[in-house]
Structure 1
Amino acid sequence: MKTILYTVLVLVLVLACTSNKTLTSNPQPEKPIAQNDTVRIVNDSLEYEVIIIDAGFTSWLAGRAYPRNYYSQAYLEGKNRPWVFEWNIRARNPSVYGDLYLLPIDYNPGINYGYEVNYLLYNYLVYFQNKYNQRLGGRVPDR
């Protein structure tokens, strides 16, 4: 299950790299991703790893997201399940939904990923929906 949310990393990385760029005759060298632009969680006993790389997510998480333990784990799981389900539908149909959803998220509702994974996944999905003006279903907090 190491790839559970590893696909989120790849997706976010690709989204961050495919932003609107214009080609110039004298391109500037790319700056490496700053350490504070990366959110990483590893749990070897459950064999999962979550890595979210998005230039704006870390600052959004620190400044606009509700603090940890504001929501219960059951609430977060209840939001993550349908949002991930819809995300995966869109990832599997790029001709209909475009290239925002490059990879499906391997999220199994039967596995207890713990509070931190569900918290970060929930907040990333809120951030993504607000940033890209997407709706994965239901009401999305506007923060």
Structure 2
Amino acid sequence: MKNLLYILLMVLFVYSCGLTKNNGRSGKNNATENDTVRIANDSLEYEIIIIEPGFNLFINSIARPEGYYSQSYLENKNQILVNDYNNRVRQPMRYNTNLYVQEINYNPQIDYGYEVNYLLYNYFVYISRQYNQRFSVPTRI
């Protein structure tokens, strides 16, 4: 009888752990959805999607406000930072493939507007701060 009670308690314990694990997953999905920033412009046929936990909080509380930098400043920085980032994507044996997943197609001849340049630059600032990455051009806040 004692063994049956112990087995029943063990089964309930394992079952309850399984319920907690599922609830944790749904919470992660909600957090990821809240940390997704998407900007698109159909006329220029571009889209920028940033899926990074904590980036939304960073933009809304830590990053310098929109208008702090000029668009030309952001464009110049982004051109250099994107080249550096893309070089890291092309060297998976040297750089973490979890951080440098795919190349960023950034053409300096296209006017993406202030918002895209602002978010892209702050994405690099966020990466450098969050993951202690150093780019060829210092990113600062």
| TM-score bucket of the superposed structures, by smaller chain | 0.7 to 0.9
Residue 33 in structure 1 maps to residue 26 in structure 2: no
Distance 1:97 1:57 in 2: 21
User: TM-score, with normalisation over the residues of structure 2?
Assistant: 0.77
Shift in Å at residue 105 of structure 1?
0.6
Quick one: distance in 2 between partners of 1:73 and 1:81? 12
Q: Which one of the candidate residues 36, 45, 55 is aligned to 1:47?
A: 45
Task: Name which one, 1 or 2, has greater alpha-carbon Rg.
Answer: 2
**Partner residue of 2:136?**
137
Conservation of the 8 A alpha-carbon contact between 1:38 and 1:51: yes
Unaligned 5+ segments in structure 1 are 1-24
Distance in 2 separating the partners of 1:106 and 1:33? 28
Q: How far apart are the structure 1 equivalents of 2:138 and 2:85?
A: 15
The count of corresponding residues between Structure 1 and Structure 2 is 118
Match of 1:59 in 2: 57
Partner SS state of residue 122, structure 2: helix
Q: Is the helix fraction higher in 1 or 2? A: 2
Aligned to 1:17: none
C-alpha separation between the residues in 2 aligned to 1:132 and 1:36?
20
Superposition map of 1:1-143 within 5 A: 26=18, 28-29=21-22, 30-31=25-26, 32-34=29-31, 35-99=33-97, 100-141=99-140, 143=141
Supply the AA of the counterpart residue of 2:67.
N
Amino acid at match of 1:116: E
For 2:56, the aligned partner's letter is T
**1:51-107: CA deviation from partner (whole Å, max 9, x where unpaired):** 112120000110111111110000001110111001000001101112121211111
Name the structure, 1 or 2, with higher relative contact order (CA <8 Å, separation 6+).
1
* Secondary structure of the corresponding residue to residue 94 of structure 2: helix
> Unpaired runs of 5+ in structure 2?
1-16
Secondary structure of the corresponding residue to residue 88 of structure 1: helix
